[in-house]
């Protein structure tokens, strides 16, 4: 079966349409530092507004453990309102009385946004009956449902997996476009095919390596993930991000790669800092000597070093297909952005297909002044695009008729 598209819903004029977006944007002291995901949601929202639908936008922001006003969607609603150049009515609850009032006050072509879905633990509950009950409450707000949060389609969550089953539902334009673009990577990718992984969601992403290894020629590992591999090879990593319970898994991947004849390439040098802060003292050190700096065991690795950046760039530039997810270092602090900048620059020089996936990775290339047009595709989903590449069945897509 193929994905149900927006057109399959017929005319939506006068109907109330719930749209699940992924507006999980990076916030710095309450301000949105990259609005890429909000912009990416505009085509679907503008389409629905143009049809004269009443549009109810739902999304999560961050990983709150209950109501946490620091992660309110209110600033996102203000940003969306500016980008759409129209009022976005914001409800300070998700399924409560204010949401009901705001939604029932919508006129045709009007837009409302409900508060952060994850303020309700039921959104991400393991228990299916809890999720189903929450999805049922949400479904009461609309006549139809559009799933356009590509960044979350790999999650079995109430608004992603259960909700589409309760209303006439379809994929939004962003989800449809992402799938078309990513399919170019899975159907006979031109070789050499290189995947570059980094970022901080280490345990989330380690699992994908086993699936990716048989597909690729080279896997380059930087970011927070590198320390688990470097430690697995016997290096001391000081206070760097380390998933101790994944050391065996990392060793397993290194063995598996050897058997498959796939290259796993790890950094040869690291930028070690005195602490996790902008402007922290830092030195470049070979990976074997991470605890031999002035910072000793308290030193924390915040970027790949320059030799690693050159090594990575060389492999990337000689590839025909490159997928990159996860910054190479803490690019938010300019001293630790060099590895990420070098990898991004290398991608722009590839003679072939390049795809950047992940909210923070996309934010990084923009923050470092690259242009979206310098890459084949910038995906709004990190985990989702990785799982798609692995050929996994994504719950949020299956709920829309995919496969
Ligand atoms: P994406 O959103 O692109 O999928 P992640 O969410 O996994 O990426 O990770 C992004 C974050 O990883 C960035 O905020 C960056 O600061 C952080 N990061 C990168 N390298 C390191 C490191 N060595 N130590 C800690 N955090 C890191
Ligand atoms: Mg992220």
Judge whether residue 108 has pLDDT over 90. Answer: yes
Q: Is 330 helix (H, G, I), strand (E, B) or coil?
A: coil
In terms of C-beta density within 10 A (0-12 exposed, 13-18 middle, 19 or more buried), how is residue 22 classed? buried
Percent of residues, the chain, with pLDDT higher than 90: 91
Distance from Cα 111 to the centre of ligand 1, integer Å: 33
pLDDT for residue 109: 98
Judge whether residue 204 has pLDDT over 90. Answer: no
CA-closest candidate to residue 377, choices 400, 347, 350, 354: 354
Judge whether residue 208 has pLDDT over 90. Answer: no
Average pLDDT over the chain, rounded to an integer: 96
Judge whether residue 238 has pLDDT over 90. Answer: yes
Distance from Cα 358 to the centre of ligand 2, integer Å: 6
> Cβ neighbours of residue 150 under 8 Å, at least 6 residues apart?
22, 174, 175, 178, 379, 380, 381, 384, 385
pLDDT, tens digit (0-9, with 9 covering 90-100), for 174-187:
999 999 999 888 88
Judge whether residue 30 has pLDDT over 90. Answer: no
- For the question of residue 78 being annotated catalytic, the response is no
Find out whether the beta carbon of 36 lies less than 6 Å from any atom of ligand 1.
no
The percent helix, strand, coil of the chain (3-state, each to 5) is 45, 15, 40
User: Average pLDDT for residues 151-155, to the nearest whole number?
Assistant: 96
- DSSP H helices in 160-243: 173-186, 202-212, 226-232
Q: Catalytic residue among 78, 92, 156, 201, which? A: 201
99 preceded by a cis bond (ω within 30 of 0)? no
What residues sit around ligand 2, an ion, with C-beta below 5 angstroms?
359-360
- For the question of residue 191 being annotated catalytic, the response is no
User: Are 281 and 245 spatial neighbours (Cβ–Cβ below 8 Å)?
Assistant: no
Instruction: Tell me how crowded residue 47 is: count the other CB atoms within 10 A of its CB.
Output: 16
User: Average pLDDT for residues 130-157, to the nearest whole number?
Assistant: 98
Q: What's the count of helices (H) and strands (E) in the chain, helices before strands?
A: 14, 17
Q: Is 300 helix (H, G, I), strand (E, B) or coil?
A: strand
pLDDT for residue 391: 85
User: Average pLDDT for residues 30-34, to the nearest whole number?
Assistant: 92
Confidence of residue 1 (pLDDT cuts 50, 70, 90): low
Residues 216-244 as b/e (b if ≥16 CB within 10 A, e otherwise) read: bbbbbbbbbbbbbbbbbeebebbbbbbbe
What token pair was written down for 66? 């209950």
pLDDT, tens digit (0-9, with 9 covering 90-100), for 335-386:
999 999 999 999 999 999 999 998 899 999 999 999 999 999 999 998 899 9
Whole-structure pTM value: 0.88
pLDDT, tens digit (0-9, with 9 covering 90-100), for 110-119:
999 999 999 9
Q: Catalytic residue among 299, 359, 382, 396, which? A: 359
* CA gap 224, 397 in Å, rounded: 29
Mutate to test the pocket of ligand 1, among 60, 198, 202 (most ligand atoms within 8 A of CB): 198
* CA gap 151, 208 in Å, rounded: 16
Find out whether the beta carbon of 327 lies less than 6 Å from any atom of ligand 1.
yes
Confidence of residue 286 (pLDDT cuts 50, 70, 90): very high
Confidence of residue 166 (pLDDT cuts 50, 70, 90): very high
* CA gap 54, 13 in Å, rounded: 8
What token pair was written down for 150? 């590509």
Q: Is 171 helix (H, G, I), strand (E, B) or coil?
A: strand
- For the question of residue 37 being annotated catalytic, the response is yes
**DSSP conformation class of 158:** I
Residues 55-69 as b/e (b if ≥16 CB within 10 A, e otherwise) read: bbbbbbbeebeeeee
Distance from Cα 362 to the centre of ligand 2, integer Å: 9
Asked which of 176-180, 206-210, 227-231, 296-300 is least confident by mean pLDDT, the reply is 206-210
């Amino acid at each position: 079966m193929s994905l149900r598209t927006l057109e399959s819903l017929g005319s939506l004029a006068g109907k109330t349409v719930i749209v699940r977006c992924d507006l999980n944007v990076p916030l710095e002291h309450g301000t949105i530092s990259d609005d890429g995901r909000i912009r990416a949601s505009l085509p679907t929202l503008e389409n629905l507004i143009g049809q004269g639908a009443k549009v109810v936008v739902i999304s999560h922001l961050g990983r709150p453990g209950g109501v946490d006003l620091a992660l309110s969607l209110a600033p996102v609603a203000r940003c969306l309102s500016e980008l759409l150049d129209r009022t976005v009515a914001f409800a300070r609850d998700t399924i409560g009385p204010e949401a009901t009032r705001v939604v029932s006050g919508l006129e045709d072509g009007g837009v409302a946004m409900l508060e952060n879905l994850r303020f309700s633990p039921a959104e991400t509950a393991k228990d299916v009956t809890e999720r189903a009950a929450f999805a049922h409450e949400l479904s009461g707000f609309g006549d139809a449902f559009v799933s356009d949060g590509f960044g979350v389609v790999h999650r079995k969550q109430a608004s992603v997996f259960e909700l589409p089953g309760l209303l006439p539902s379809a994929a939004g334009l962003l989800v449809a476009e992402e799938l078309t673009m990513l399919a170019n990577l899975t159907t006979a990718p031109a070789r050499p095919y290189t995947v570059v992984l980094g970022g901080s969601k280490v345990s989330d992403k380690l699992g994908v390596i086993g699936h990716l290894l048989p597909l690729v020629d080279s896997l380059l590992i930087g970011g927070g993930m590198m320390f688990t591999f470097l430690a697995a090879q016997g290096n001391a990593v000081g206070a760097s991000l380390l998933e101790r319970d994944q050391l065996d898994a990392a060793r397993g991947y290194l063995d598996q790669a050897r058997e498959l004849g796939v290259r796993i390439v790890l950094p040869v040098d690291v930028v070690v800092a005195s602490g996790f802060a902008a402007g922290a003292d830092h030195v470049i050190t070979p990976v074997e000597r991470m605890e031999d700096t002035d910072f000793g065991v308290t030193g924390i690795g915040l970027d790949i070093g320059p030799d690693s950046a050159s090594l990575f760039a060389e492999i990337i530039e000689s590839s025909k297909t490159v997928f990159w997810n996860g910054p190479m270092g803490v690019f938010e602090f300019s001293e630790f952005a060099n590895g990420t900048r070098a990898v991004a620059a290398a991608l722009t020089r590839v003679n072939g297909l390049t795809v950047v996936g992940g909210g923070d990775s996309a934010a990084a290339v923009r923050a470092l002044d690259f242009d979206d047009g310098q890459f084949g595709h910038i995906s709004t989903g990190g985990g989702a695009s990785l799982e798609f590449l692995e050929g996994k069945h994504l719950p949020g897509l299956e709920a829309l008729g995919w496969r």
